[in-house]
Amino acid sequence: MTSKEESFRALVAGHQEMVINTCYRFVFNREDAEDLAQDVFIEVFRSLEQFREEAKLSTWIYRIAVTKSLDHLRRQKRKKRFSSLKRIIGIDDPIAEIADSNGDNPAEALVGSEQAVILQYALNTLPDSQKTAFLLSKQEGFSNQEIADILKTSVSAVESLVHRAKKNLHDKLYAYYAMQ
């Protein structure tokens, strides 16, 4: 085993839990979170030599995790839009059917409740910066300073983002439940 591989193994061992859980906060699904975490570490392995020590290694890794998770959510949104468009024009989407029949809903996998689905939907309507700051603030192990480093912003900006995210989320959920 080369020294690069050895140090990489140590790096994975030290950060895997945090990376998986960060992705999990965004996607609400274990399998997706693990797949994303794999992508994160592959990206880390590929560009470890290009890493400049302007930020902490862990901050850099978590930034990659956040970016990958947001990309995944965007892809999911696009896919949903496309399958609903297909449904409108009358083409059956077998992928969507398979996903539905398996009950492969991220939120359902999380707690198995309708509330989780609604929460995830509301979260996904938030701007990326608010969503990231809010979700990371809910995760153990991230201080506001660390979130600020990941988002490349100040602590006060993070506090403001979290506050706005809470308010927006509350309003969206309130509007939803008021309509019921």
Partner 1 sequence: MKQELMMKRHNNNIEEQVAKAMMLLDEIKPLEVDHHFRVRLMQRIEYEFGQRSGYAQAGLRNRFDFRLAFMALLIMVNLGSALLSVQHNNLGKTPGISEMIDNLNDDYPSQEFAYYDQTSAYPAETMTAESKTP
CB of 139 to partner 1, least distance (A): 8
What b/e sequence results for 93-112 when a residue is b if at least 16 CB atoms lie within 10 Å of its CB, and e otherwise?
Answer: beebeeeeeeeebbbbbbee
Cβ-contact 39, 72 below 8 angstroms: no
| Residue 122 backbone class (left: φ over 0; alpha: ψ -120 to 50; beta: rest) | alpha
Q: Which residues bind partner 1 (CB under 8 A)?
A: 5, 8-9, 12-13, 16-17, 20-21, 24-25, 30, 33-34, 37-38, 41-42, 45-46, 110-111, 113, 115-116, 118-119, 122, 135, 138, 140, 166, 169-170, 173-174, 177-178
CB of 12 to partner 1, least distance (A): 6
5/71 with CB nearer partner 1: 5
Return the closest-CA partner of residue 29 out of 111, 91, 98: 111
28/60 with CB nearer partner 1: 28
83/126 with CB nearer partner 1: 126
